[in-house]
Amino acid sequence: MKKKAVDDVLGGEKAWDNVDRTDAQCPNDSCNNQRAYFFQLQIRSADEPSSTFYKCTECAHQWREN
């Protein structure tokens, strides 16, 4: 059986192009940076809040908050 190709719903490598920055502390223990790129995406049903995705401007660590 062949595996079906799956699209990256979060945008892949280009997801972080042209996103805004905000004040957010990086959760990476070795990084004390206070700035991160972010974007919001509705990944659940319409009655649920959007998820916010962050990427540290220094170490490139990525995390998500509901």
Catalytic center residues? 47-48
52 is in an annotated binding site: no
Q: Is 42 marked as a binding-site residue?
A: no
Check if the beta carbon of residue 39 is closer than 8 Å to that of residue 15. yes
**Is 38 flagged in the annotation as binding?**
no
Q: Count of alpha carbons within 13 Å of 11, Cβ hemisphere only? A: 12
43 labeled part of a ligand binding site: no
Going by C-alpha positions, the residue among 32, 42, 43, 39 that lies closest to residue 55 is 39
Q: Which residues are annotated as a binding site?
A: 26, 31, 56, 59
Q: Which residues are annotated as a binding site for Zn(2+)?
A: 26, 31, 56, 59
